[in-house]
Every structure is written in structure tokens, then in C-alpha cells.
Structure 1
Amino acid sequence: MIHTLRRCLSAPATLARLEALAAGAPASAPVSLRLSLGRAESDWLPLLPADAPYWYRARPDHHEYRLAIGHALHVTSAGPNRLAALDNAFAGFCRDWRRNGPAFAFAGFAFDAGNNAPLPNALLAIPAILLESVAGECSVTFSAPAGRLAQSAAEWPQWLATPAIASTPRQRPSRPETLAERAWIGRVNAALRDIEAGRVDKIVLARSRKIEADSPFSAASVLGQLLTQQPASLVYAHGNGQHSFVGATPERLVRLAGNRVDADALAGTSWPGSLALSETKNRHEQALVVQAVCAALAPFCATPPLAEPAQEHAAGQLLHLRSRVAATVRPGTTLFELVRALHPTPAIGGFPVAAAQAWLAAHNEQRSGWYSGAIGLLTAEGDGEFSVALRSALLAGNTAELQAGAGIVAGSDAAHELAETTAKLGTLLAALAPSIRPESDDSLRA
């Protein structure tokens, strides 16, 4: 497969076809050429670049893998209007987008509208090279602004020439977490006092844990392990050359396809040895999320959104309660409008949303990277899907920062909530010493 890809890169016809698509377009207009690479059950992790921006999205149980390398066009934003800014920018891209088939943009944003490090607070990008394998059909899409097609085509081979090295670093002994755990339990107890006083119904508190190694962590290796551990989840990553944000999430924030919208109401967690999902605490937590998701979508819908009964949903060793919420939206509704209405859901922030956000800000809640924000894929027609960025690690050289959270409601037990975050952190802890080596995938060499 890699040989076919390189032939497409070097073929004079590739640039000629891009130029034909771009005829008469404004210089800033995106131009995308999609080419078939044939059939193969291929993932693209061996081509993860060492020093170029990249995006990765995979649904193993759907046989769906995407790797985007480089940015043809991108825009960043921050602050309370960040998603509206991305919405306007994306509408501008789509208005002039020249393409011969399906074309995609990628996006991600942080939980807090003011967090700008180490990743942009909110980022939207059309990738320069998009490699796809969907149900065995492989393709590549080359994209560039209409005004710099030749320059872009000259850059593409460089990004494929230096893939990242997949490695298994030896972890250094972990420092005791006792003080950090006590501090977190103190925050839980503070939340419980305000819940008991009626100031808020639910607060979601995040924990972080840093792991150090003798050599740099490999995003490709971590992702390879997550693919095996979490086949029913969305395995995702974004890297900028210095940092990689990787994870596996079981939760869809929202999907728009035509005028149909789907969202997840997911809350409540169990794991081997924990309380059952049928316990009152888990049912109450999940009901709050269903209520809030339906209320957020309702203004965009002609009829009230419908929520399915809660079902158990597996995510590796964890189980969650999940209800699918579906509705028909009014014409003209954009995906970013739905994202703005839904984020943050009570599953990641609390309930009522405004009171929970104020509580978290007052108690200096810190979340790194895009943890509990969202990561998304958008089509040139305006459809797409955002997923909540959970079960994540922020990789920076020899350091990995893992994050997980728990929902605190009336009746929560601080020790149990600590155990829940520990179980969630275990997803990434297990992936930091992978046995999978993506570079051994012979199907890419066909």
C-alpha cells in the first residue's frame, strides 16, 4: 500500500488533476483530490509522522481507520465565542471547496474556553494528506489552497519520509500519590457539601497522574495498544510535533447527518469489584445527563428529542450506562451550533450546567490538553461527528499526563469515586507499555 501511495505522490497527473479542480477558484480555496489505493485491511499507524501535525481516528469494530498528516488550511480560536468562530471559518472553507469526492476536516477543543496550552484551545484543520481505510477500501486525499498547489505537492513526500519511531520506553518508578489523592478527596467532600446545600446537583471532578520514562513515549505504540483494548471505542489522537494527545473514548457528543442528530447520554460507571450499574447513584447520574442532552437539543428540533432506555455499554474493563438520543433538526442547523448547545454535558461538567461550571472555576479545576473537550470529524457538506475526549494521555517526550474524572452526586462516597478514577486511569496505564508494534503491518507495504 505504501508503494501505491508513493506512486500517487510522484505522478505528474496528481498535480495536473489538482490544478484542473482549482481552475477559477480563489487562491485561498481548499482543493482536494481523492484517489483510490485499492483494497487492504490496513491501519496507518506506521506512517504517523515524527515532526508534522497529525490527526488519527479509528473505530476498530467498524474497520474504520483515518490518519491525517499536515495542515493544508487551519484556524484556531479561544474564548467564549471560539466554536462560533470555527463555525464561521468552516462555512467559508465549504463555500469554495473544490473536490472530486468526499473530503474532511478535523477539529478539537479544550474543556475550558480559556485553556491555551500546550494545544490550541480550539483548532479546525483541513489535512494536507488524509489516508483512509474503511471496510477494506483504502484511499488518499491530497488537499492544498488553490494558490499554492505546486508548493504543497513538493512538501508532501517529506512528511511521509520521516515516520515516528514506535518504541516501548521503560517507565521510572512512580511517586506516591497519597497527598494528591487526599487533596482530591477533599475536593469531593467540598462538592458533596454544596450538593447537600442545594447549590448544585452534580459536579464532575478530574484527576491527573504523571508517568515518566527513560525515553520518549511513542504515540503510535500507545494507539496500537488502545486499538486492541478498546475495539468498541473511538481511538483518537492529535499531535503537533512536540505533544501528542491520545485516547479512547466511549462517548459521542453529537453526530449530524443531513437533518438527523444523534447524541449520547452516558454516565454511571462500574468495573470489576465496584457497585453495579443498577445502583441508585449510577441511575440518578445518568438520568441527569439524559435530561440535559434532550433540553439542549430541543430548541433546534421540530419535535422533542427521543431518548432510548439506558443500556450497558462496555469500554474495555469498564461498563457505563448509555442512552442514545435522536431527533430531527430544523433546516440550516450546523454541527457547531449543536456542539455549542451541548458542551459541556453533565457527564463531564455537572448539573445544572451553569452552576457546575461556576463551581469548577471557583475551585480552580485544571484539565490539560483537550481532556473532556471534544475531537471531531466534519465533511465538506457540513455533516460530521464530535466525540468527548475521555480516557486520554498528553504525551510530551519522556512524560505522559493521564486524566480521568468522576461525577459527584448526592450519595456519592469519596473513596468509591477515587477508585472510579483509578479504574479509568487504568485504560491508559495499560497502554503505555504496549506489546503491539505498528511497524510490523505488512499490508501497508503491498
Structure 2
Amino acid sequence: MSISALVRPRPVHQAADLLAAYLPGSFFFSSARGVLLADGVHAHVRPGDGSKALAAAEALAAARAAGLPDPVVAGAVGFRPDAPSSLVVPSVVRRADAASEVSAPGAGSGAVWTAVPRPEPARYADAVRRALRLIGDGDLRKVVLARCLELTSDAPVWVPALLARLVRADPAAYAFAVDVTAPGDPAPRALVGASPELLVSRRGTTVVANPLAGSAPRSGDEAVDRERIARLRASAKDLGEHAHTAAQVAEVLGRFCVDLEVPDRPEVIGTPTMWHLSTRITGRLADPGDPACSALGLAEALHPTPAVCGVPQAGALAAIAALEPEDRGYYAGMVGWTGLHGDGEWAVTIRSAEVCARTVRLFAGAGIVEGSDPAAELAETAAKFGTLLRALEVEEAA
């Protein structure tokens, strides 16, 4: 038998077909780099208290030895250091080039929704004022405070339709759906979203991170949006908030890279609901064979960035635990995949929701720094809810 007869061509799929093939329990991740759909569980990755990257590398090597042709570790990691993770080596992986166009999903469900904010808006504004006092006392320089919106439908939420609407609304986003069912859940639980923020990507020796911090709502009126973009670019408060995040991301990646490019000033990027200050940081790895330099290893080192936590990190984590009444779970964690040789992509788990039967829990956060205004931060979180509320067709709930 010839060598060529042993080589099977890699299947070619269309992005729209993979999106249509997604069913609850699958892993879906799409970006400008491409689409990955994974099914089944070959092995669970259980790092315990150790390195997730090392546990992933061991699981990938074992899967390859067992004959998996394209093993990856895929899943999600929660926000806090002790938060749960849902990482697996799937049995089957399919890939496609990035989606250029996605057909519209069917008509909306016509569901009737009830919404419960946690905490109430007035209590969130009070938490912002308490955070400002901590900042004024010198205990913190920045802390990101999130709030939750719990929605209940009169019928079970169909996650594939929700995912399709998110991808169609913003094909450039990091769209994802991950099974995060936990013991005690009354039904399967899915983490689904469309994040604008790349935590880290690796391809060969090249790594890219794209932190976002400093935001303004998008109005839909061209003149108003031009004014908001200009104001965001000139805002000392937002530029300072962004600088905290970009500096820490660059410092962490600098530990692993021999070359690092960090732009002097951020750009402004847009989503259908928001404008964000953005810095795209690129580097070249010093030791790409080290598991710590895998996409997951780099993500583990970066997480949580000041974009979702604060500065200093330990103080911000303590303030979040004291000021937020709801546990974030997977919100503001990370979601993505890593392959056998370390390549992969991980996004920050924002613009996301956890869906379980008829219940949907959304989170949105705002960075609190000196000069923050409680009413403005409340409005920013309301605008950030918009991505999921539009996809759920319950925009008015915010």
C-alpha cells in the first residue's frame, strides 16, 4: 500500500453547515480564524488544583496515542480562581473557514418573558459608590462590577436558534456554545454568547491578544456615534481604564515572548451594541513547545485581566466578592480551544448567558475607576445586555 493511500484528506465543511449542525451538548466556537464544532467526549480534563495547560497537554497526548486524528481540548473556565471549569477532549472535531454569511434563523418563538434584576439597579449604583470609596481610599485603582439579569420564559429556550441569531448579528464576534451542565442542574445547561474580546490566540510561534476596556453605547445614529467615538478617544477616564488592562496583558505576554508589539494608543472598535477602546498586542514565543506557551497556558496566565477584574487583582477580587450579590459563574471567564501542538483561541466570556430549560442568566459589567459615575455605569451595563436581549427578542427587559 502506498503512503498516499494512508493519508486521508481533511474533510471540508461550510461554516453555515456547522452552525446548523450544532445541537445542545456540542461545542461550537467561531471567529475570523474559522469555525470549530466538536461532539462527544473522549476524555474529561480535570486539572484539580494544578495547571489546566499541563492537564490539557497530557490529555491531548493520550488522545493522540489512542488514535484521535485531530485532538483538541475545548470548553470554558469560570471567572474566579476556584470557579468550575468544563474542559473536554471531544470525540469528533469538524472545522470550516470563517463564516461569510449566515442565513437568518426561523421566526421568533413568541415567548413571554419575566425579568428579575440581581441586584436592583439602585443597589448596583450603590455598589459603584462603595467601589469609588475604596478607590478614593487608595485600596484599588480599578474594579469591574457586574450585575445579573435573570430571565424566565414560558417555554424552554432553544439554544441552537439563539446561537444562530448571535452569529448572524455579529459574524466578527467570538461566538460560542458550551455544555456546562453541573450536578444538581434540573436540565442541561449551556453557556452561549458572542464575545467581542480575544483573550489570546496562538498560531505557530505567533500570539495575539486584544484587550478591550473603556466603552460607550452605540446609538445607531451615524452623527451621534461619530461624537461618541471622538469622546471615547479623548476620555481621560476611559483611556486610563484601558491603559491598566493593556499594560498588564503586555507584561504577562512579555514573560513568554522574545518580541512583543504594543501600539502606543488604542483604537476604537464597534459591535452592534457598543464601542470599545481596543489594543491589539502581538508577540513571538520564546519556547513554543512548553505547555505554558500553549494557547490555554497563555490564557491561564492572563486570566482574569483588568478588563473583567481590576487593579490590583487580589484587591479587586475581594471587592467583587463583597459587592456583587450574584456569583458570576462562567461570566468573565474564558472560552475556547487548544490543539495538540499548542495552537488555539480563547475569548473572554462576556456578552454571554447561561441557559437552563426556561431560565436565562445574563451578566454585564463596567469598569469602575476614579471619575466613574454610578448612573453612567448602570447605563453601560444595560447597553451591554443588549447583545443577548436582541438575540432572545426581549430587548425591553433591560
Judging changes above 3 Å, is the alpha-carbon distance between structure 1 residues 175 and 375 closer, same or farther for their aligned structure 2 residues? Answer: closer
2:57 corresponding residue in structure 1: 90
2:145 corresponding residue in structure 1: 205
Equivalent residues of 1:205, 1:365 under 8 A apart: no
Match of 2:22 among 40, 44, 48: 48
Q: Does 1:287 align with 2:243?
A: yes
1:379 corresponding residue in structure 2: 339
Q: What SS class does the counterpart of residue 417 from structure 1 fall into?
A: helix
Identical positions, percent: 30
1:77 deviates by 4.1
Q: What SS class does the counterpart of residue 247 from structure 1 fall into?
A: strand
Deviations 1:173-219 (A, max 9, x none): 53575961111111100100011111110000111101111110011
1:433 deviates by 3.0
Task: For structure 1, list consecutive stretches of 5 or more residues without a partner in the other structure.
Answer: 1-19, 22-32, 116-120, 137-164, 435-446
Partners of 2:279 and 2:166 lie apart in 1 by 24
1:272 corresponding residue in structure 2: 218
1:145 corresponding residue in structure 2: none
Partners of 2:239 and 2:30 lie apart in 1 by 30
1:9 corresponding residue in structure 2: none
* Amino acid across the alignment from 1:49: L
Equivalent residues of 1:305, 1:326 under 8 A apart: yes
Number of residue equivalences: 365
Q: What SS class does the counterpart of residue 293 from structure 1 fall into?
A: helix
2:376 corresponding residue in structure 1: 416
Match of 1:324 among 280, 290, 315: 280
Partners of 2:324 and 2:207 lie apart in 1 by 34
Equivalent residues of 1:43, 1:65 under 8 A apart: no
* Amino acid across the alignment from 1:74: H
Q: What SS class does the counterpart of residue 320 from structure 2 fall into?
A: helix
Partners of 1:130 and 1:296 lie apart in 2 by 31
Match of 1:298 among 254, 258, 268: 254
2:92 corresponding residue in structure 1: 129
Q: What SS class does the counterpart of residue 403 from structure 1 fall into?
A: strand
Q: What SS class does the counterpart of residue 111 from structure 1 fall into?
A: coil
Deviations 1:113-133 (A, max 9, x none): 323xxxxx1232121222322
Q: What SS class does the counterpart of residue 120 from structure 2 fall into?
A: helix
1:270 deviates by 1.2
* Amino acid across the alignment from 1:200: L
Q: Does 1:196 align with 2:136?
A: yes
1:318 deviates by 0.9
Judging changes above 3 Å, is the alpha-carbon distance between structure 1 residues 433 and 325 closer, same or farther for their aligned structure 2 residues? Answer: same
Larger Rg: 1
Q: In terms of mean alpha carbon deviation, does 257-266 or 100-109 score higher?
A: 100-109
Q: TM-score, normalised by structure 1?
A: 0.74
2:184 corresponding residue in structure 1: none
Partners of 1:101 and 1:67 lie apart in 2 by 15
Partners of 2:312 and 2:98 lie apart in 1 by 41
Equivalent residues of 2:216, 2:232 under 8 A apart: yes
Q: In terms of mean alpha carbon deviation, does 322-331 or 392-401 score higher?
A: 322-331
Judging changes above 3 Å, is the alpha-carbon distance between structure 1 residues 39 and 56 closer, same or farther for their aligned structure 2 residues? Answer: closer
Partners of 1:420 and 1:412 lie apart in 2 by 11
* Amino acid across the alignment from 1:131: R
Judging changes above 3 Å, is the alpha-carbon distance between structure 1 residues 327 and 253 closer, same or farther for their aligned structure 2 residues? Answer: same
Equivalent residues of 1:78, 1:122 under 8 A apart: no
1:71 corresponding residue in structure 2: 41
1:313 deviates by 1.0
RMSD after superposition = 2.9
Q: What SS class does the counterpart of residue 205 from structure 1 fall into?
A: strand
1:339 corresponding residue in structure 2: 299
Partners of 2:120 and 2:8 lie apart in 1 by 50
Match of 2:112 among 172, 195, 199: 172
Q: Does 1:358 align with 2:318?
A: yes
Match of 1:111 among 79, 87, 95: 79
Partners of 1:405 and 1:34 lie apart in 2 by 47
1:303 deviates by 4.6
1:345 deviates by 0.4
Partners of 1:341 and 1:349 lie apart in 2 by 14
Equivalent residues of 1:208, 1:402 under 8 A apart: yes
Equivalent residues of 1:34, 1:100 under 8 A apart: no
Equivalent residues of 1:310, 1:322 under 8 A apart: yes
Equivalent residues of 2:45, 2:55 under 8 A apart: no
Q: TM-score, normalised by structure 2?
A: 0.83
Partners of 2:120 and 2:192 lie apart in 1 by 23
Partners of 1:109 and 1:45 lie apart in 2 by 23
Judging changes above 3 Å, is the alpha-carbon distance between structure 1 residues 311 and 77 closer, same or farther for their aligned structure 2 residues? Answer: same
Equivalent residues of 2:335, 2:348 under 8 A apart: yes
2:165 corresponding residue in structure 1: 225
Partners of 1:222 and 1:57 lie apart in 2 by 14
Task: For structure 2, list consecutive stretches of 5 or more residues without a partner in the other structure.
Answer: 100-104, 182-186, 220-224
